[in-house]
Amino acid sequence: MKMKNQLSPSQIIGLALLIFAAFWDCSEKSTSPDRKPGPEFELGKNRYTLEIDGDKREYFVHVPMGYDANNATPVVFMLHGASGRGEWMYKFSGWKELGEEENILTVFPTAWSYCWIKANDVVRDTTRWNSFPGIFTFCAGEKPRDDVKFLRHIVDDLKQKFTVDSQRIYMVGFSSGGQMAFRCAVEMSDVIAAVVQSGGTHQIDTVFTPVRNLPITFELGNKDETWFQDGAEAPLSIFDDVLKNHYLFKRIVNVHINSFYCESIYQMSGDTTSALTATYKGIPNIGNRVFNFTLIDGLDHSYPNTVNHPMNGARQNWDWLQQYFLR
């Protein structure tokens, strides 16, 4: 006697195939979350944003063609001047090209835009870095952003996205960015190996206490109109004299050698046809850090990029920076 609803052989085979297909589909879905996501970057130009204290902040990274995630890669930050943007320095500083040549991750953050007051009560509304108080005045109602926090978050974000050589993270800044680079030398020297300030620094009569004493350079053009009034040019032949006798240059030297604990005597190198550098050795003098003050012939208030001046600033800076490691 036949049982009701008994399956035929063909129906049994079909049901088995359906069960197998369902099992295979579930198996595929269960493994997909474990697949590693693709890289968060492209070779060349990348734009990233971070939310810092409720503000969306941006930075650009150039990833060189030779980047290999299996090898730790050095990082150089390039900070723009007032009214600039990270993308401008990406295009014009020469650092992305040097990054390709030397296999460096080059990073170009953008400062926040403020209403601020410069000398002679001139009001401006532009980007600029929130370096130490006393450099400029914010307009009433402006809220200074924490740029040290922003830059630290970029370092953390880079380490999530790339294989970063944590012993070789460097900071370069121009003008307002140079002032910010000084602040980073004081407050971020636990993560930065060495710093270059170009066309901007601190000359406030104050002794700062860095997290760590590090190598630091300040470079200035002898035709920089923001430092030398009425378009005056400071001949390199008088550099030695102004270091010892000019009040502004003395203040620049003092804030560096006193804050970063360097000798008060210096050794001069270079020549008067291109650039002179006064080198103040660290105390104790074991060769791991210096303060350099460089005066560049024929340079105005610009970061030298071979177009605005014969010097390749990125190359000159990298040749000096790369000898230092975070210790």
Instruction: List, for residues 198-221, the tens digit of each pLDDT value.
Output: 999 987 788 999 999 999 999 999
**Average pLDDT of the segment spanning 156-161:** 98
282 pLDDT above the threshold of 80: yes
Percent of the chain exceeding pLDDT 90 equals 76
DSSP state, residue 133: T
**Residue 13 binned pLDDT confidence (cut-offs 50, 70, 90):** very low
- The residue among 259, 266, 41 whose CA lies nearest residue 164 is 41
The pLDDT assigned to 61 comes to 99
In this predicted structure, the answer to whether residue 14 has a pLDDT above a threshold of 50 is no
Which residue has better confidence, 27 or 321?
321
Asked whether the predicted pLDDT for residue 1 surpasses 70, the reply is no
291-313 residue pLDDT tens: 999 999 999 999 999 999 999 99
What ranges make up the beta strands (E) of the chain? 44-52, 55-63, 73-79, 105-109, 113-117, 123-127, 137-138, 164-174, 194-198, 216-221, 267-271, 275-281, 290-296
Given pLDDT bands bounded at 50, 70 and 90, which one contains residue 231? low
pLDDT at 5: 47
In a domain, 248, yes or no: yes
| Residues spanned by the domain of 283 | 44-321
Q: What's the domain count of the chain?
A: 1
What pLDDT was estimated at residue 32? Answer: 31
Is 11 within a domain? no
Asked whether residue 327 is assigned to any structural domain, the reply reads no
- Residue 263: exposed, middle, or buried by beta-carbon count in 10 A (0-12, 13-18, 19+)? middle
Evaluate whether residue 114 is within a structural domain.
yes
Shortest CA distance to 49 belongs to which of 41, 60, 57? 57
Query: Cβ(294)–Cβ(220) under 8 Å?
Result: yes
Q: What is the mean pLDDT of residues 178-201?
A: 97
User: What is the reported pLDDT for 269?
Assistant: 98
Compute the C-alpha angle 67/96/107, nearest 5°.
80
Cα 312 from Cα 183, distance rounded (Å): 25
111 in Cβ contact with 128 (< 8 Å): yes
Phi, psi torsion values for 16, nearest 5 degrees: -60, -40
* CATH number for position 86: 3.40.50.1820
Domain assignment present for 32: no
* Average pLDDT of the residues of the chain: 88
pLDDT of residue 165 exceeding 50, the answer is yes
Residue 287's pLDDT band, with cuts at 50, 70 and 90, is confident
The pTM score is 0.87
Query: From edge to edge, which strands make up the β-sheet containing 123-127?
Result: 123-127, 113-117, 137-138
Neighbouring residues of 155: CB distance < 8 A, sequence distance ≥ 6: 75, 164, 169, 191
The Cα–Cα gap between 313 and 119 comes to 28
pLDDT of 124 reads 86
What pLDDT, on the 0 to 100 scale, is given for residue 24? 33
Whether residue 12 lies inside any domain: the answer is no
CB 238 within 8 A of CB 314: no
Q: Is residue 7 included in any domain, yes or no?
A: no
pLDDT score recorded for residue 232: 79
> Is 24 contained in some domain?
no
pLDDT score at 6: 52
